[in-house]
Amino acid sequence: MGEYYYVYGFMPALSEKERPKLKGMDGSSPVMFHQYEDISAAYSPVSSDVFSEEQLQKNVEDMEWLKDHAFHHHQVMNELQSHAVIIPLSFGTVYESIENLEAALAAYSEEMKHLFNELKGKEEWSVKVYVKRSLFDDDFSKNEEEIKQRKEEIAQMSKGKQFFALKKLDAWLKERADEEIDRLCRELHEDLVKLTSDFLKKKVWDQKISGREEEMVSNAVYLFKDSEAVNQGIQKVKEFQENAEKNYNGLLVEATGPWPSYHFAKLQEPEQKQ
C-alpha cells in the first residue's frame, strides 16, 4: 500500500497557530499543509489502494461511499474558507507525490496569488427561487383584474362556448403566471447583481434532483463585493420573500452561504500526474 495526497485546495500560507486542526479524508490522518513560498496546499494523506485513478472511479459508483467522502470534502472546505481565501479543488483531486504537488504550486503560483487578491473579502452565495404552482397560480388568477374580467365574460357565454373558452383561459393563465414569476425573479437578480463582483446563472434543477415538492424557477450564484454587500443582499432576499407572501402564495426564496468560491476561483486545475 502506497501513500497519495488528497488535495482540498490552495490558500495563502498560514502560521502554525492559524492552521485549523481537522481530520483528513481517511478519518485518522490530519489535514496537513504543504507550503511553497507564501502559498499552502491543504491536503490529506490517503491510501493509493483507495485513491488510485482506477479504484477512485470504482468508488464513486458506490453512492454511500461517495456521499460520505464528498460530505467530508465539503466540511473541510467550509472550515478552511473560514480561515483564509481558498482556491477550492474538485472532489477527488489526488497527487502521487509531494514533488508533483510542489511542481503544480510552482507552475501556478503567480496566478494563485492574483486570485487570492481578487477574492479577498468577497463571499460566494447561492440564491434559489422555488414555486408551488398550485398555490401561486390560484392566487395569481384571483388577484389579476384582467383575469377577473375574462372570467366574467366567459360566464355570460353559452355552456358549449364556455368549455372551450375556459380551456383557452387556463393556457393563457399559465403563460401569464410564468411571465409574472420571470419578472419577480428578474427584479431580484437585478437588485443582487448591483452588489456583486461577479455572478453566474445556473440551470434550474428538476424536482427529482432537488427532492422538493416545489418547482425551482431560478438558480444563481453571486460573488458579493464585501460583508456590507452581503448584508444588503440578504435584506433584498428578505424583502423579496415578504413581498411574495403579501401578494402571492407559493413563492419561496432561499439564500445559502458563504461558500468556498467554487464558481469564481477560475484557476485551471494543475495537471495531475497519476
Which of 88, 119, 150 lies at the terminal end of a domain, its last residue?
119
Taking alpha carbons only, the member of 71, 79, 21 closest to residue 259 is 79
The residue from 104, 119, 134 where one domain ends is 119
- Co-location of 54 and 150 in the same domain: no
**pLDDT, tens digit, 9 for 90 and up, residues 142-188:** 666 666 666 666 666 666 666 666 667 667 778 888 888 999 999 99
Total structural domains in the chain? 2
Task: For residue 140, give the C-alpha cell.
Answer: 395569481
pLDDT tens across 184-206, in order? 999 999 999 999 999 999 999 88
Same domain for 158 and 106: no
CATH of the domain at 166: 3.30.70
Residues 112 and 28 in one domain: yes
Phi/psi of residue 210, nearest 5 degrees: -70, -25
Q: Determine phi and psi for 40, rounding to 5 degrees.
A: -120, 145
Q: What is the pTM of this model?
A: 0.81
136 and 115 within one domain: no
Residues 128 and 255 in one domain: yes
Count of C-beta atoms within a 10 Å radius of residue 42: 28
Q: Enumerate the β-bridge partners of residue 46.
A: 4
In the chain, pLDDT over 70 holds for what percent of residues? Answer: 86
Q: Are residues 86 and 114 in the same domain?
A: yes
Neighbours of 55 (CB within 10 A): 13
Residue 48 and residue 174 in one domain: no
140, 247: one domain:
yes
Residues 69 and 20 in one domain: yes
135 and 204 part of one domain: yes
Shared domain check, 104 and 22: yes
Query: Which of residues 73, 100, 119 is at a domain's end?
Result: 119
**Residue listed under C-alpha cell 456521499:** 67
- 274 residues of the chain, pLDDT tens digit each: 678 999 999 999 988 888 999 999 988 889 999 999 999 999 999 998 898 888 998 998 999 999 999 999 999 999 999 889 999 999 999 999 999 999 999 999 999 999 999 999 999 999 999 999 888 877 776 666 666 666 666 666 666 666 666 667 667 778 888 888 999 999 999 999 999 999 999 999 887 778 788 899 999 999 999 999 999 999 999 999 998 888 888 899 999 999 999 999 877 654 444 4
101 located within any domain = yes
Residue 273 within any structural domain of the chain = no
Closest by CA position to 174, among listed 220, 218, 215: 215
* Closest C-alpha among 196, 200, 199 to residue 225: 196
Q: Which residues contact 164 (CB under 8 A, 6 or more apart)?
A: none
Q: Which domain holds residue 200?
A: 123-259
Cβ atoms 132, 250 nearer than 8 A: yes
Measured distance CA(125)–CA(143) in Å, rounded: 33
pLDDT at position 4 is 93
Q: Does one domain contain both 53 and 136?
A: no
